[in-house]
């Protein structure tokens, strides 16, 4: 998603500027062409040489802006060059300029001389962020469809204050940039309510033992990220997942569950309001027939574990689906993936199913990449080759449009 793409990073004057070095390095290593523009304030925290080294391109400042060393005005060249821009950290000062279309330095002139999507990552002291004037500017700038927001989050700030104002972490900014490069900044899912399930459910025998599977929930999380980046209102029902993974989501309603029964109840609760429902969770097929509220001694474990069936959530939703709703399933398969997926598509009354081979490299549980075959009720089939799970999520969403 980044190979050959042109990314322009605007660095504002804040302590969070040091984090942008990691972002720029990751972009360059992934094959993106990266250039940086530093404000005067940014240079109090990081140097142009640092960014020039990480970008493998010159890093520009206002000194370059006012020097007649280019055949065309620098801000015009940079603005036309960029496929996407990010401003991180976005200070209150630069935010105010963007809100009112002011341009008194290289960065703000470049923004006005460009037409690409602009990702804004604010960072400032909590009291500054909560000022009525700053919040007014923040709301005003987001009325312009060019601007997209990531963060801020809450946490311990450099001033030792605990509260809102912490800049989004580089992986979160990176994911949003990838989405903007895929969509061109279009919010083509705006107005849609999307319900997604993810993660592997746990069916407990006693308080410390359970039947489970290796699902990490990364695929469903990528679907939630992609849908939210494209303007959808997203609800994510998730089985136990790493807290760090969930922290990357912004603007997504999170519903934690553990067992298949809990996931079933949550999906039934939120299904009526959903336009699209995507069942990406790895839900257990069976559970222990009996549950002990106390840990069973090893000697008391049964040699043959009695099992009970778990309700088929996606099939139940298929029976409840209304004409305006779309229901999508996932099928993790080994060997022949098409025949079982087609059978599930018809039997469970799905509108589409995503079949992915978990016995192939770059696919399946735990990794950051996946591959699949998309099938729908109209007989369409589309192969999705090995790619990041975020890219696969976008491709699935595009196929559903």
Q: Residues 289-306: what's their mean pLDDT?
A: 91
Structure tokens at 260: 């298949």
Beta strands at 203-206 and 193-198: parallel, antiparallel or unpaired: unpaired
Structural fold of domain 6-183 = Rossmann fold (3.40.50)
Q: Which of 385, 359, 201 is nearest to 280 (CA)?
A: 201
Q: Which residues contact 29 (CB under 8 A, 6 or more apart)?
A: none
Q: CA 364 to CA 214: how far, in whole Å?
A: 9
C-alpha span between 155 and 163 (Å, rounded): 5
The rounded Cα 132 to chain-centroid distance in angstroms is: 29
Please indicate whether the domains covering 6-183 and 193-400 agree at the CATH topology level.
yes
pTM for this model (two decimals)? 0.92
The terminus-to-terminus CA distance of the chain in angstroms comes to 20
HSE-CB for 282 with a 13 A CA cutoff? 23
pLDDT of residue 69: 66
Q: What is the pLDDT of residues 286-295, one digit of tens each?
A: 999 999 999 9
Interatomic CA distance for residues 133 and 153, integer angstroms = 19
Q: Which two tokens stand for residue 118?
A: 């602009």
Band (70; pLDDT cuts 50, 70, 90): low
Q: What is the mean pLDDT of residues 39-55?
A: 96
User: 116 an active-site residue?
Assistant: no
Summarised one tens digit per residue, pLDDT across range 127-147 is 999 999 999 999 999 999 999
Burial 223-256 (b: 16+ CB within 10 A, else e): bbbbbbbbbbbbbbbbbbbeeebbebbbebeebe
DSSP 325: -
At 326, is the secondary structure helix, strand, or coil? strand
The proportion of the chain whose per-residue pLDDT surpasses 70, expressed as a percent, equals: 100
| Separation CA 177–CA 119 (nearest Å) | 7
User: What does the pLDDT average to over 197-211?
Assistant: 94
Cis before 315? omega within 30 = no
Interatomic CA distance for residues 384 and 87, integer angstroms: 32
The whole-angstrom separation of Cα 130 and Cα 93 is 14
Length of the chain: 401
Q: Average pLDDT, stretch 50-79? A: 89
Q: How far apart are CA 284 and CA 214, in angstroms?
A: 11
**pLDDT above 70 (res 376):** yes
Mean pLDDT of 335-350: 93
Token code pair at residue 90: 């976005």
Radius of gyration (C-alpha) of the chain in whole angstroms: 24
Q: Give the SS3 label for residue 137.
A: helix
Residue 68 has pLDDT above 80, yes or no: no
The mean pLDDT value of the chain amounts to 93
Name 2's Cβ contacts closer than 8 Å, sequence gap at least 6. 27, 30, 31, 32, 178, 181
Kindly name the residue from 21, 55, 159, 387 that is annotated as catalytic: 159
Domain 193-400: give its CATH code: 3.40.50.10300
CA proximity to 57, closest of 23, 8, 12, 17: 8
Span of 83-87, 170-174, 337-341, 356-360 with lowest mean pLDDT: 356-360
Confidence tier at 248 by pLDDT (50, 70, 90): confident
DSSP reduced 3-state for 308:
strand
CA distance 82 to 305: 60
Please state the domain extents for the chain: 6-183, 193-400
Q: Three-class SS of residue 208?
A: coil
Q: Exposure of 334 by Cβ count < 10 A (0-12 exposed, 13-18 middle, 19+ buried)?
A: exposed
In this model, does residue 67 exceed pLDDT 90?
no
Angle between helices 17-29 and 48-55 (to 10 degrees): 20
**pLDDT tens digits, one per residue of 159-193:** 778 888 889 999 999 999 999 999 999 999 999 99
Element (H, E) at 237: strand 233-238
Q: How far apart are CA 1 and CA 179, in angstroms?
A: 8
pLDDT of residue 243: 82
Q: What are phi and psi of 356, to 5 degrees?
A: -125, 140
Whole-angstrom distance, CA of residue 9 vs CA of residue 24 = 8
């Amino acid at each position: 998603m980044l190979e050959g793409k042109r990314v322009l990073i605007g660095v504002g004057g804040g302590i969070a500027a040091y984090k942008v070095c990691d972002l720029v390095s990751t972009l360059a290593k992934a094959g993106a062409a990266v250039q940086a523009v530093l404000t005067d304030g940014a240079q109090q925290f990081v140097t142009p040489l640092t960014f020039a080294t990480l970008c493998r391109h010159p890093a520009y400042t206002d000194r370059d802006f006012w020097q007649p060393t280019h055949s065309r005005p620098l801000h015009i060249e940079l603005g036309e060059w960029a496929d996407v821009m990010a401003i991180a950290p976005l200070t209150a000062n630069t935010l105010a300029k963007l809100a009112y279309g002011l341009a008194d330095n290289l960065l703000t002139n470049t923004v006005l001389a460009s037409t690409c999507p602009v990702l804004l990552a604010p960072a400032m002291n909590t009291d500054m962020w909560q000022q009525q004037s700053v919040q007014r500017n923040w709301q005003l700038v987001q009325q312009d469809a060019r601007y997209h927001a990531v963060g801020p989050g809450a946490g311990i700030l450099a001033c030792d204050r605990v509260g809102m104002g912490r800049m989004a972490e580089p992986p979160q900014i990176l994911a949003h940039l990838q989405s903007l490069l895929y969509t061109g900044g279009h919010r083509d899912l705006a107005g849609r309510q999307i319900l997604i399930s993810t993660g592997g459910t746990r069916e407990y025998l006693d308080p410390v033992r359970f039947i489970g599977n290796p699902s990490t929930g990364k695929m469903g999380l990528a679907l939630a990220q992609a849908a939210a980046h494209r303007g959808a209102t997203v609800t994510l029902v998730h089985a136990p997942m790493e807290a760090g993974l969930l922290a990357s989501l912004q603007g997504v309603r999170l519903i934690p569950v553990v067992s298949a029964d809990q996931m079933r109840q949550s999906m039934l609760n939120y299904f009526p309001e959903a336009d699209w429902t995507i069942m990406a969770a790895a839900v257990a097929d069976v559970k222990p027939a009996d549950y002990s509220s106390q840990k069973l001694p090893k000697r008391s474990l049964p040699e043959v574990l009695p099992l009970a069936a778990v309700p088929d959530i996606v099939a139940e939703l298929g029976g409840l689906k209304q004409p305006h709703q779309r229901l999508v399933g996932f099928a993790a398969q080994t060997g022949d993936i098409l025949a079982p997926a087609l059978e599930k598509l018809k039997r469970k009354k799905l509108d589409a199913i995503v079949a992915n081979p978990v016995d192939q490299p770059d696919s399946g549980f735990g990794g950051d990449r996946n591959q699949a075959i998309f099938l729908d009720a109209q007989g369409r089939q589309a192969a999705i080759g090995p790619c990041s799970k975020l890219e696969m999520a976008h491709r699935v969403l595009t196929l559903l449009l």
